[in-house]
Structure 1
Amino acid sequence: MEPTHLETIRAAVLGSYQLDILYPSSSCSKFTGTGVLWRRIEPYGLVFKGLSRRHIRTGRWYLVAFCQCCQSFHTLRVSDIEQVYVREELTTPRPDFDLHAYWREARKQLEKQHPPISLKLHVTANARYSALHGDVNVLKENADGGAIVQVNVESLDDAISYALGLGADATVLEPSQVRVAVAATAHAIAEIYG
């Protein structure tokens, strides 16, 4: 699923228009508070950080932008942008800025801060052959067609969503924090419908 403001941001990048965005303040070095903050930015590129997948493309969109407040480049997660307004002012050309080189380094930092989560599941034959998506490694096959599988996902939230999406056709084996979160969510859902 694409982030809410992706098309607006893409148009601003292509048109070289500045943006005002409502974004978590922790990414701006000039602001020490918590919460969200309006920021004027100059967008220089949209990049997609994906995970290796066989059949689908999964990952996150990031905006590489120059923040006018702190006068530096930032990598902003598009899905974290709460509101966006396109301005009439154009971005300032920065001929010394290399988007590819910047993204190569930013990606390394993102992977250090948020390494992929390896999700280990026991799945039924139904899930194995119809519901699993992505680059699934079969660790052990069962006689009934089910299997123990491993799937890499980008975050804890993605792991929980992935497991819940399989419903009763999957049991989370590892990591334990995903197993606990899925169980708690399933219990809360059962109470709503109970």
Structure 2
Amino acid sequence: MRASRLLSLLLHLQVRGQVTGPELAARLQVSERTVQRDVEALAAAGIPIRSVRGPAGGYSLPGGYRTRLTGLGAAEAQALAFLGLSGAAEALGLSDQLDAAQHKLWAALSGDAREHADRSAQRFHLDPVRWYGSAEPTPALAGVAEAVWLDRRLRLRYAARGGTARERVVDPLGLVLAAGDWYLVARRDGARRTYRISRVLGAQALDEAADRPAGYDLAADWADARSQLESRHELVTVTVLADPAVLPGLHRVVAVAGQHLVDVAATEPVRLEVPFEGLAWAATALLGLGAGIEVLAPASLRERLAAEARAVADRYR
């Protein structure tokens, strides 16, 4: 335990150059007195750590000093897939391993390379979660992730549409975080299936090995599944007159095939012909945009929206 802490302290100094005692104590989750004893132990072992006095003081390493004790453990290597996705790593219980791996990688970089990496981290950030939304509860995520990692067949209790709980035995292939929500890609009866993790009521890894195709490419398979899902609906074309204020909302609700038609930066009302995944969805989505949009065609949809608007007005009269 202490050896691991000493290595973490040394790597942190190597990455940061100079760190205060309170900062080190908070990072290592020990007292400042323990940090002082650890520094003394490292100095006695020949590590050239210097104590710097004053308000901006602390502990530092000479710029040229480098340790080679940066080997990644198995769990840390596993966590490297989530570089830049700390929230996803935390959800899977890998946040500590990811933090340790990042520090080891930083410590292994040369001075110039480390400076460039640090500048990049300070200027670019990846946030995969959608705006104005909280993450769905995923109590079964850890159990699903274990089966995925161990390549074990998985027994799921899944809330199907309509609320019916069904049991499925699947061969898990991978987990995908898409727009803040977790999905399991799996095989069942020889066909690909996707399961929303928030609807998994229970998950049990079985003793049987999962049937995983040789050379399986999760990213390519997910892209294909998403493309099929987005294109399986019969599209209807709707002609609208839209105010500039509602264009970002219109861009989000039209079918993927027509999103390029909506210029969210327009400054004047625009007339557009855009596709929707069915008239029912078009009615629901366009009502949500309020008076900032008018449906011109088809006539059946225009009449449906007018009837809905009258019903809403009567309800609140």
Q: TM-score range by the shorter chain?
A: 0.5 to 0.7
CA RMSD of aligned residues (A): 4.4
Match of 1:124 among 202, 223, 243: 243
Structure of greater Rg: 2
The 8 Å contact of residues 186 and 193 in structure 2, kept in 1 or not, is answered as: yes
| Structure 1 residues 112 and 180: alpha-carbon distance in aligned structure 2, compared to 1, 3 A threshold | same
Contact 2:143 2:205 in 1 (8 A): no
Tell me: CA distance 1:112–1:191, structure 2 relative to 1, closer, same or farther (3 Å).
same
- Once residues 131 and 95 of structure 1 are traced to their aligned partners in structure 2, the CA distance between those partners, rounded to angstroms, is 40
Q: 1:148 aligns with which of 271, 283, 287?
A: 271
What is the number of residues matched between the two proteins?
167
Moved over 6 A (4+): none
C-alpha distance in structure 1 between counterparts of 2:311 and 2:139, whole Å: 36
The residue type equivalent to 1:190 in the other structure is: A
Q: Which residue of 2 aligns with 1:73?
A: 191
In the TM superposition, 1:7-156 aligns within 5 A as 7-8=138-139, 10-16=141-147, 18-24=155-161, 36=164, 38-42=166-170, 43-46=172-175, 63-67=184-188, 71-76=189-194, 78=196, 83-90=199-206, 92-96=209-213, 98=216, 99-100=218-219, 102-103=221-222, 106-107=225-226, 109-110=228-229, 113-128=232-247, 132-134=250-252, 135=259, 137=261, 145-154=268-277, 156=279
- Does structure 2 retain, via aligned residues, the 8 Å contact 1:153–1:159? yes
User: How far apart in 2 are the matches of 1:78 and 1:117?
Assistant: 27
Q: 2:186, 2:192 within 8 Å by CA — same for their partners in 1?
A: yes
Structure 2: 5+ residue stretches without partners: 1-132, 148-153, 253-258
User: TM-score normalised to the size of structure 2?
Assistant: 0.39
Instruction: Determine the C-alpha separation between the residues in 1 that align with 2:167 and 2:269.
Output: 50
Q: CA deviation at 1:101?
A: 5.6
Change (3 A) 1:191 1:110: same
**How far is 1:165 from its partner?**
2.0
Aligned twin of 1:32? none
When residues 188 and 173 of structure 1 are mapped into structure 2, their CA distance, relative to the original with a 3 A threshold, is same
Letter in 1 for 2:239: K
Distance of aligned partners of 1:191 and 1:118 in 2 relative to their CA distance in 1, 3 Å threshold:
same
- Superposed displacement of residue 167, structure 1: 0.5
Q: Quick one: distance in 1 between partners of 2:297 and 2:268?
A: 21
Q: Give SS of 2:306's match.
A: helix
Which sections of structure 1, spanning at least 5 residues, go unmatched? 26-34, 50-56
| 1:46/1:95 CA distance change after superposition, 3 Å | closer
Distance 2:299 2:182 in 1: 28
1:122 CA drift (Å)? 0.7
Deviation at 1:21, TM superposition (A): 0.6
Amino-acid identity (%): 28
Higher relative contact order (CA 8 A, sep 6+): 1
The C-alpha deviation readout for 1:41-83, integer Å capped at 9, x for no partner, is: 434345589xxxxxxx7xx98643334xxx343434649x8x5
* Shift, 1:169, TM fit: 1.3
Q: Is the 8 A contact 1:136 1:151 kept in 2?
A: no
Partner of 2:288: 165
- Three-state SS of the structure 2 residue aligned to 1:114 is coil
2:235/2:275 contact within 8 Å kept: yes
In structure 2, relative to structure 1, the CA distance for the partners of 1:191 and 1:12 (3 Å cut) is farther
Cα displacement (A) at 1:171? 0.9
TM-score scaled by length of structure 1: 0.57
Higher strand share: 1
